[in-house]
Structures are given as C-alpha cells and as structure tokens.
Amino acid sequence: MFQKGQDVKICFTSGQSRTELAAKIDEVTPLKLRLLEGRADAVPAGESGKQLIDVMDCYLGETLLTAEVLRVHPDNILEIRRLTRESRQFVRVSAFLDLSYEVIDPLADLEDELQEQVDAGEPLPEMTRQEMKTLARTEEASEAVLYLLRAVQSIDRRLDSIYDMTRQLLEQTAPHPMVRRRVVLSGSGLRFETDQGCDVGVRMALRFRLPLARTAVVKTVAETMRVDAIVDPEAKAPRYGIACKFVQIRATDRERIVSFAIRKQREALRRMRVAADGF
C-alpha cells in the first residue's frame, strides 16, 4: 500500500538508455508522483503515446509496480495508472530503534573451523568406477551398496557441520553496542543511517531491539543492496543510508518484525484519523 510522502524511484527506458529518478508519492488516489530530480515533462512518451514506468522501492531497489503515465501536472508531478498490482510482500515502516551492525565475511570467518569439522569425518577408502563395476558383478555386490551408503552418510555429516557453523554465526552476539538509529524496517530487510559507508553485496551481522509487549532482540545476517550518501549541508561528518535484505533470519524473528510494522502502521493511521477529525 502506497502512502502519501513515501519515497520511491521511477525507472523508464528511452531508446537504448534506462533512467532512474528519485520521486515521492504526492497523492494516492489518483496516484501522483512528484519528481525530486529531473523534469516530469522530460519523461518521454512511448510508442502508444503513453510512457511505461516502473515504480521502485527507493531502498532495496525492488519493483513495486509497472504503471502508465497519464499526464504531466505543474510542479513536476506525474499522474500515473497502475498496470500491475503492488508486489511488496511486507509492510514497511519508519522508526527509531537500537541497532548494532558489523561487516562480516562468513566464509572467511568460518573457513578454518569448518574445515576441521569436515576433516573430522570418517575417511572413506577410494574406489574407482571400474573397481565398483567389477565389484558389482561379484557376490560381494552388497559391499558396493554399503560403500555408497557410507558415502551419503559422510556427505550428510559434512552438511550438518555447515549448518551448525552457520547457526553459530547467526547466534553470536555483535561486539558493538547498540545505538539509536533511524531505520526503515520490513519483514524482508531494513535501511539504517550510519557515519560509515560500505560496499554493496557485503554481509552484516545485525542486532536490533524491537519494543513489543515483551522487548525482543533480533539477530540476523543481512546483505547490503544499496549504499547512498546522505546530503546534509549542516552535518559535521558524512552520513550514509545502508539498505539491506535479510539472508539469515529465524521465522519467529520475522514474525516479530511484521507484528511491529503492522502495529506502527495502525498507530500512524489512528493519528491521521484524529488529525482529520480535528481532535
């Protein structure tokens, strides 16, 4: 569900080039976008006289819907018509949460310990394909089946080791203290502000506190999808907005996040009703 004032991006194709522009939802019904960069009247018309655009989440880059530009209004506003339904799976809300993060490299951190676990498995005697074919023609063919069973069991033990190492990484406590930060949160990921940038595609150990009926601390591993410099002339130091998606998260933690987001959305709707009624 779009909300007035929501930040988005529009993406459209002109010739061989594809353009992305920052925008904000100006009205929901009818759906109007106010461009924050570029000019609305510069958005070209398509072959049918109407330009097709993708409306994207400005944080994670997900396409929310495809739309058709109906008309251009003054003040850099595009009025559009939905051609597809919104594809966002989870409600997204803005909040201030206590959060800590640490850039990690799971493969590098766990390589030595995981190798020890793998090497600890029972070694199997090597057997060539020809030896197995020969064995299969003898009365000892059952030994070939036993060999394959032992091989499968050995692989299974190694997979268990990988799972255990990943789980230990997920459960480890981040060494950095939590700091109150502005975040945009949903069940699929979050965006937070920090004074340290990082590369897109890196993984982070995240830990944040959700103020539910019983305060919950969520620990998850996330992958960065976007890193944007925040322009603030009054800021004394550079600041960055880091958007990431959850790649390792417990189902119960995701449910807590969704419950928190729904509660925040209901509170916002309640405030809007009160303001509209003049109370």
Give the separation between CA 192 and CA 183, rounded to whole angstroms: 4
Helices vs. strands in the chain: H and E counts, helices first: 4, 12
Domain ranges of the chain: 7-88, 94-102+176-277, 107-171
- 78-122 tens-digit pLDDT: 998 887 655 555 677 888 999 999 988 655 444 445 455 545 555
DSSP string, 41-93: GGS---TTSS-EEEEEETTT--EEEEEEEEEEETTTEEEEEESS-----S--E
The residue ranking higher by pLDDT, 221 or 134, is 221
The phi, psi pair for 197, rounded to 5°, reads -85, 175
Mean per-residue pLDDT over the chain, rounded: 77
Is the pLDDT at 66 greater than 50? The verdict is yes
Residue type, 84: T
The CATH homologous superfamily of the domain defined by 94-102+176-277: predicted glycosyltransferase like domains (2.40.10.220)
Domain 94-102+176-277 in the same topology as domain 7-88: yes
Hunting for tokens 């018309």 — which residue is that? 45
Q: Which fold has domain 7-88?
A: Thrombin, subunit H (2.40.10)
- Which range (64-68, 78-82, 90-94, 167-171) has the least confidence? 167-171
Burial class (CB in 10 A: 0-12, 13-18, 19+), 149: exposed
Is the pLDDT at 240 greater than 60? The verdict is yes
Q: What is the pLDDT of residue 206?
A: 93
Cβ(185)–Cβ(92) below 8 Å: yes
